[in-house]
Structure 1
Amino acid sequence: MSGKPGYHGRILEVDLSSGKSRTVAIPFEDLDKFVGGQGLGMKLLWDRLKKPGVDALSPENPLMFVPGPFSGLPVPSSSRTCVVTKSPITAPLKSEHRHASTVTYSNMGGFFGPEIRFAGYDGLVVTGRARELSYIVIDDDKVSIRDARKFKGMRTDAFDKAFLEELGDRKYKTVYIGPAGENLVPYSSIIHTAGRAAGRGGSGCVMGSKNLKAIAVKGSGQPGVADHERFLSALEKARRALYGTTYAKSWAEQGTARAIVGNSNAGTESVRNYREGTFTEADKIGGDAARRDVWVRDFACYCCPLACKKSGVTKGKYGGVVHDGPEYETGVMLGSNLMISDMPGLLRAIYNIDDLGLDQISTGNVIGFLMEAYEKGMIDRKFLDGIDLKWGSVDATLAMIEKIAAKDGVGALAAQGVANLSRRIGQGSDKFAIHVKGLELAAHNIQGNQPRALSYVTASRGACHMSGDDIAMQNRRAMLDSTGMCFFPTFEPALEEPMLELLSAITGHEYDKAEFEKAGERIFNLEKMFNYREGFRRGDDKLPDRFFEDAFTIGAKKGAVLDRKKFEDMLTTYYRDRGWDSETTKPSETKLQELGLENI
């Protein structure tokens, strides 16, 4: 132990170029200021990339797996690991740096983060590039880099089984990439067990650029706490806030799929490439339908009472085992957004995307864009390699998924994301190329939801539905993703007090609500400074024209469209309230000093 309560005080750094590993001490000040997870990962990234413009796919760009202080302790829903790196998919409108891009962070559940802490580390940093496809094995202090060439091109489901056989010990927790990551698709993901992914921002592409197929971790220790008696008392309060409650039971019943019908009815769903907010056949792919026709088992991440993950079986042409889904994002982006209401077909698309190691959100967005361009005659079947990419076509969707992962034919263009696709197609297609800073929007439509529009344009990693719809929410969520706790249980108000008490008891640093949110504000501002240094300015906080010009024609929000002037006024107010310059968006010196970032 480091002498810092709640932490090991060290990270494991593996350099794939040299084949060497070492442990590096974390300054106590960084643990107090940036906590863990997203925050500590951001500080590590800032310290390692001292100059802007580093190519995200260069050996220099670190790929970091950072749990939080809750990880590895029996705190409810403390399963999360934040994967932090520089994004290979985002870009500013103008920059003097050719490879300018945003920070990216992708938060995944499961068991990997807690196992990193069991092994004696507060994070894992991977740098360099292996000469051949390789994998890393970590067993407490024993670290090795091994040949993975025999696994080249293997899809994630088959690899998961083969890898555990290779390791000969099911106690290892593993993460890995599929063919999409090996092929450097910019929006490829990192997969961890069935249906869990670090999906957003292209972390799988960065992992692929390092010739790294997988990482396996096994540990035999556990982090300590500053005040054990206080920890146990707060732990009991946290458990009582969640276990057996109506709220927890609702998550176990339908997970996030319960929102598929609800958001469609509310007119806030992404439908037909964000043209509408209501999908008239949402009931065919929603939580009730999945519970009735598909799911046979609920399963949970580390120490979680919500059990929002699902598995089951479908039959027929697209039948097979369902590892997970539909969730809200996957069900909407591959369902409502593409006008697909065939449940087995939808689940086959979700499965294939995970199996190939792609981001579900970006993939669904890209295919929706191409469907609209095809419908409008901007592209033809020749452009699409003969695929009849019509709305609602499962077969065409499955074909496009394969081509994207392989970068085959039209897939090589589609793999570059909607921003680059629209530049290639032209003809005004940028109006319905739905992205911010190059990262595709998620499954929440915004013609009738202006606060969510603010979230998309001001989030640090490009279009992000998880960042928060206002300043207070953004600060809070940045901090939540730094603790290791899942976002979902925090909707339960009774959890707030014991969560703050747990964090204080574990770390020895006293957190009330104000201190918690100030730490989140510090993290968010450091991310902003990283992006600003890369060349991002107010002009990059821009939404596609669709949201200002194409009003909904059906549903509860029929006629809804964003007002451009009101939106710009809202942005100006946001920057002012953040303490940022309203023209450049640079955080003021006063704000940086207030947050203890004066040396940034």
Structure 2
Amino acid sequence: MSGKPGYHGKILNIDLSTGKIETVPVPAEDFDKFVGGQGLGMKILWDRLKKPGVDPLSPDNLLMFMPGPFSGLPVPSSSRTCVVTKSPITSPLKSDYTHPSTVTYSNMGGFFGPEVRFAGYDGIVITGKARVLSYVVIEDDKVEIREAAKFKGMRTDAFDRAFLAELGDRRFKTVYIGPAGENLVPYSSILHTAGRAAGRGGTGCVMGSKNLKAIAVRGTGQPTVADHKAFLAALENARRALNGSAFAKSWAEQGTARAIVGNSNAGTEAVRNYREGTFTEADKIGGDAARRDVWVKDIACYCCPLACKKSGMTKGKHGGVVHDGPEYETGVMLGSNLMISDMPGLLKAITTIDDLGLDQISTGNVIGFLMEAYERGLINRSFLDGIDLKWGSVDATLAMIEKIAAKEGVGALAAEGVRGLSWHIGKGSDKFAIQVKGLELAAHNIQANQPRGLSYVTASRGACHMSGDNIAMQNRRAMMDSTGMCFFPTFEPTLEEPMLALLSAITGRKFDKAEFEKVGERIFTLEKLFNYREGFRREDDRLPDRFFEDAFTVGPKKGAVLDREKFESMLTQYYQDRGWDPETTEPGKKKLKELGLDTI
């Protein structure tokens, strides 16, 4: 034990190459400085990947499942798990190393993180590569690596059921990859229960590179808290803040799908490969339509009153069970972005992507890019293996999804992402290849939203809408993802003080708003140090030309386009405010000392 209240003080380390399984103590100082989740995962990655340029798909890379100190306790909306690794999809424009890439941290809800804590660990670190396809079973301090050959190629929905039957106990909480991860698609995801995913940055690809199909965890313990009386008082205040909250009610009613129509009306939605910000048929795929025609059940993560996950049924040609969706990102990237307004068809695409284990955001972006290249005549139907990839075509979209996951024909090229596709196609296609550092943008368009553009270019994992639109938001988000707290309830302003009080009561360390943000800044800056060491510089913090050259032609923001000079000026100011060199983006010595990072 670390002697730190709120923590077990140890990480479970599993080397798949040697079969060695051990618990590794975590220094108390690391909990103080990096808390858990994303922050502690970043510190472990920095410490153990000492040399830049390590191949993300090599046995040396780390794949970490990191809950935070809130996980496993009855803190509302705080069951998140951060999957931290070195990304297989990002890279700088120039580097001295063979395999440079960013850190990536992909966050998922559900029940896995709490179960890791019940089993007695503050995180799981996977290294090495299994000789054959394998899975890991963890029951408290009993850990086994078992062969998984009979599950090879199984899609996630069927595997989820078969795996629990194999384990013989539904109390196990599991994470797993689909065919896309096994086939090393760089933007494949890790699934946890139907529809919950660590989707961004290629976490599933890293898991596949380790010949690891799944992990199952079951624990019987319980995390401790430093001040039980203060914890119960803060917990009651947190519950009261959410009880009856208009924000909580809206999440329960429509989840993130409520933003599909709202953002379209605001002109900030990804439409037609980001050519527009408004989708005139958004009401057909938005939250009202889904609530009326699809959803029959609201599902919550561990100890969450929001229940933002939905399930239901659609009918017709593309009908079937809906495990989740449309959410905002999935509904836009596979709907508005591809000009698809057929709800059953949209939900079939969402379901298929999860079933194959792909990132919804990157997959929708790749298909949108190919649709535009096809429309412009830069590629033909032969290039697309005969697929008539026209805007709004559900059947063509489904065909491309299957090819990408299998890396079959054009799917092998499409699996490399929009940047790789644009390099192959050429002909000026890079102008509408919507990515930053190799990672595709999320569903928020930016011709009329300059701060979100700042988020995309300065985020640590490549284009990231969740990082935050300014420095204060970035610091807070990094810290939130280190506690295990979900982003959604933070829209309720009265929750801030109870959550700070909960963190203080659990850890025994006083957290006010200033300290919370300072720890977040330390985490974000360490991520920047990692990326800088890999070779990322200011020239990598750039948006595609589309956002500066192609003004919207429809909607309330018609005519909107970013001003390149103003954007660069804003970027310079950002680096200066961060204490980073505005020319190279290297964090300055004064800032590193201020954050206690000068010694590492």
CA distance in 1, matches of 2:438, 2:368: 16
Aligned to 1:244: 244
Q: Determine if the alignment matches structure 1 residue 37 to structure 2 residue 41.
A: no
Aligned to 1:307: 307
Deviation of 1:245 (Å) = 2.4
Give secondary structure in 2 for the equivalent of 1:135.
strand
Question: What code does the residue aligned with 1:48 have?
Answer: R
Question: What code does the residue aligned with 2:168 have?
Answer: G
Aligned to 2:586: 586
CA distance in 2, matches of 1:223, 1:346: 41
CA distance in 2, matches of 1:515, 1:599: 20
Question: What code does the residue aligned with 1:583 have?
Answer: E
Give secondary structure in 2 for the equivalent of 1:38.
helix
Deviation of 1:509 (Å) = 1.1
Q: Determine if the alignment matches structure 1 residue 558 to structure 2 residue 531.
A: no
CA distance in 1, matches of 2:109, 2:294: 23
Kindly provide the CA deviation profile for residues 60-104 of structure 1, in whole angstroms up to 9, marking residues without a partner as x. 000000000000000001110000000000000000001000000
Please list, as runs of the form range in 1=range in 2, the aligned pairs for 1:406-485 lying within 5 A after superposition: 406-485=406-485
CA distance in 2, matches of 1:245, 1:548: 39
CA distance in 1, matches of 2:78, 2:459: 24
Q: Determine if the alignment matches structure 1 residue 263 to structure 2 residue 263.
A: yes
Please list, as runs of the form range in 1=range in 2, the aligned pairs for 1:5-404 lying within 5 A after superposition: 5-404=5-404
CA distance in 2, matches of 1:62, 1:9: 19
Question: What code does the residue aligned with 1:433 have?
Answer: A
Question: What code does the residue aligned with 2:170 have?
Answer: R
Kindly provide the CA deviation profile for residues 537-566 of structure 1, in whole angstroms up to 9, marking residues without a partner as x. 000000000000000000111000000000
Deviation of 1:599 (Å) = 1.6
Deviation of 1:247 (Å) = 1.9
CA distance in 2, matches of 1:27, 1:364: 42
Give secondary structure in 1 for the equivalent of 2:363.
helix
CA distance in 2, matches of 1:243, 1:23: 40
CA distance in 2, matches of 1:435, 1:386: 26
Deviation of 1:487 (Å) = 0.5
Kindly provide the CA deviation profile for residues 553-593 of structure 1, in whole angstroms up to 9, marking residues without a partner as x. 00111000000000000000000000000000000000000
Deviation of 1:249 (Å) = 1.3
Aligned to 2:596: 596
CA distance in 2, matches of 1:575, 1:408: 43
CA distance in 2, matches of 1:244, 1:558: 38
Aligned to 1:511: 511
Deviation of 1:246 (Å) = 2.3
Question: What code does the residue aligned with 2:443 have?
Answer: A
Kindly provide the CA deviation profile for residues 26-48 of structure 1, in whole angstroms up to 9, marking residues without a partner as x. 00000000000110000010011
Aligned to 1:546: 546
CA distance in 2, matches of 1:3, 1:229: 20
Deviation of 1:59 (Å) = 0.2
Kindly provide the CA deviation profile for residues 298-332 of structure 1, in whole angstroms up to 9, marking residues without a partner as x. 00001000000000000000000000000000000
Aligned to 2:499: 499
Question: What code does the residue aligned with 2:73 have?
Answer: L
Give secondary structure in 2 for the equivalent of 1:447.
coil
CA distance in 1, matches of 2:220, 2:3: 19
Give secondary structure in 1 for the equivalent of 2:344.
helix
CA distance in 2, matches of 1:248, 1:304: 10
Question: What code does the residue aligned with 1:333 have?
Answer: M
Give secondary structure in 1 for the equivalent of 2:298.
strand
CA distance in 1, matches of 2:185, 2:599: 36
Question: What code does the residue aligned with 1:6 have?
Answer: G
Kindly provide the CA deviation profile for residues 348-376 of structure 1, in whole angstroms up to 9, marking residues without a partner as x. 00000000000000000000000000000
Give secondary structure in 1 for the equivalent of 2:529.
helix
CA distance in 2, matches of 1:78, 1:542: 33
Which residues of structure 2 form unaligned runs of 5+? none
- CA RMSD of superposed structures (Å): 0.5
CA distance in 1, matches of 2:262, 2:487: 20
Kindly provide the CA deviation profile for residues 186-231 of structure 1, in whole angstroms up to 9, marking residues without a partner as x. 0000000011000000000000000000000000001100000000
CA distance in 1, matches of 2:290, 2:46: 43
CA distance in 2, matches of 1:393, 1:553: 22
Aligned to 1:576: 576
Deviation of 1:2 (Å) = 3.4
Which residues of structure 1 form unaligned runs of 5+? none
Question: What code does the residue aligned with 1:456 have?
Answer: Y
CA distance in 2, matches of 1:318, 1:223: 45
Kindly provide the CA deviation profile for residues 228-260 of structure 1, in whole angstroms up to 9, marking residues without a partner as x. 000000000000000232221111100000000
Deviation of 1:477 (Å) = 0.3
Aligned to 1:4: 4
CA distance in 2, matches of 1:69, 1:425: 47
CA distance in 2, matches of 1:556, 1:123: 47
Kindly provide the CA deviation profile for residues 284-304 of structure 1, in whole angstroms up to 9, marking residues without a partner as x. 000000000000000000100
Question: What code does the residue aligned with 1:534 have?
Answer: E
Give secondary structure in 1 for the equivalent of 2:165.
helix
CA distance in 2, matches of 1:257, 1:348: 16
Give secondary structure in 1 for the equivalent of 2:107.
strand
Which shifted more, 245-254 or 212-221? Answer: 245-254
Question: What code does the residue aligned with 1:245 have?
Answer: S
CA distance in 2, matches of 1:246, 1:207: 39
Give secondary structure in 2 for the equivalent of 1:278.
coil
CA distance in 2, matches of 1:541, 1:302: 37
Kindly provide the CA deviation profile for residues 104-124 of structure 1, in whole angstroms up to 9, marking residues without a partner as x. 000000000000000000000
CA distance in 1, matches of 2:527, 2:509: 23
CA distance in 2, matches of 1:349, 1:121: 37
Kindly provide the CA deviation profile for residues 402-451 of structure 1, in whole angstroms up to 9, marking residues without a partner as x. 00000000000000000010000000000000000000000000000000
CA distance in 2, matches of 1:98, 1:457: 23
CA distance in 1, matches of 2:565, 2:470: 18
CA distance in 2, matches of 1:399, 1:415: 14
TM-score w.r.t. structure 2 length?
1.00
Question: What code does the residue aligned with 1:268 have?
Answer: T
Question: What code does the residue aligned with 1:392 have?
Answer: G
CA distance in 1, matches of 2:550, 2:62: 41
Identity %: 84
Is the 8 Å Cα contact of residues 2 and 27 (structure 2) preserved in structure 1?
no
CA distance in 2, matches of 1:153, 1:71: 32
Deviation of 1:492 (Å) = 0.5
Give secondary structure in 2 for the equivalent of 1:473.
helix
Is the 8 Å Cα contact of residues 10 and 25 (structure 2) preserved in structure 1?
yes
Aligned to 1:521: 521
CA distance in 2, matches of 1:147, 1:488: 38
CA distance in 1, matches of 2:4, 2:548: 51
Give secondary structure in 2 for the equivalent of 1:511.
coil
Kindly provide the CA deviation profile for residues 502-523 of structure 1, in whole angstroms up to 9, marking residues without a partner as x. 0000001110000000000000
CA distance in 1, matches of 2:184, 2:492: 40
